Structure 1
């Protein structure tokens, strides 16, 4: 491969992505470490009831403008998530929150990859501890 890439442009690109994106492993580690942020599930009620990340706040995408002020602390960073890589509701929600003045990141991979990495999630009937998917997480780490 012949390279003519401007490395300063690459640095700016990837630093920009990391400034506004995080992944499920980092969110899991940040929650375990007690880092202060609000994790926001933007999926519909039915999806929330089916399962959600422990400690997340439910703020459906269509309700953000109406409920953000009553639900979120402006002094605490926000991380949004939706179903997974095929869903851009978390991106839309992050944009909406940013326009409202919140510091916000998107959790790439969404709920799908939270479950695939074997992290626990809550349902209406209790906590679920899924086995990690060997295609997305090493089996020996959980």
Structure 2
């Protein structure tokens, strides 16, 4: 019986493996700062356009305003680092932006879980529009 259950589970792509595959790895504050300084990251702000205007991470793209044309906003290199973020650790809005980048074939998509709160708590400045 156990053997049959294992076979069914391995045959079924939805046996928990898909949830793990969808997990977006986190990027630390230090790693993100280094990537921004080196201009080796595309940031997707998933906080909404009003929040974006009030303040966003340096160089970030307003995902809400640009999601219809996200493909043209992202680099041609599908290995480029793409980081999605939102308000802070409890915010899940980043998932849509991360999934959209992944769906376009980007393989190096990460999540900055600190979000705006974590960024400013580290003493870093926001850009304003």
What TM-score do the two structures reach when normalised by structure 1? 0.65
- State which of 48, 53, 56 in structure 2 corresponds to 1:49: 53
Considering fraction of residues, name the structure with more strand. 1
Structure 2 residue 32 is matched with structure 1 residue 30:
no
- CA deviation vs aligned residue, 1:94-127 (integer Å, no higher than 9, x gap): 1222122113111111111001110111123xxx
How large is the Cα RMSD of the aligned pairs? 2.2
- State which of 103, 112, 116 in structure 2 corresponds to 1:111: 116
Q: How many residues are treated as equivalent by the alignment? A: 105
Alpha-carbon offset, residue 77 of structure 1: 2.2
Q: Which runs of 5+ in 2 are unaligned?
A: 1-20
CA distance in 1, matches of 2:66, 2:35: 26
Poorly superposed stretches of 4+, deviation over 2 Å = none
Distance 1:31 1:67, change over 3 A: same
Q: Which runs of 5+ in 1 are unaligned?
A: 1-15, 125-142
Distance 1:122 1:63, change over 3 A: closer
- CA deviation vs aligned residue, 1:17-39 (integer Å, no higher than 9, x gap): xx82102232112222x151211
CA distance in 2, matches of 1:107, 1:114: 9
Report the equivalent of 1:132: none
Higher relative contact order (Cα pairs below 8 Å, separated by 6+ residues): 2
Rg (Cα) greater in structure: 2
- State which of 87, 96, 108 in structure 1 corresponds to 2:100: 96
Taking the TM superposition and a 5 Å limit, the aligned residue runs for 1:1-142 are 20-32=25-37, 34-60=38-64, 64=67, 66-75=68-77, 76-103=80-107, 104-124=109-129
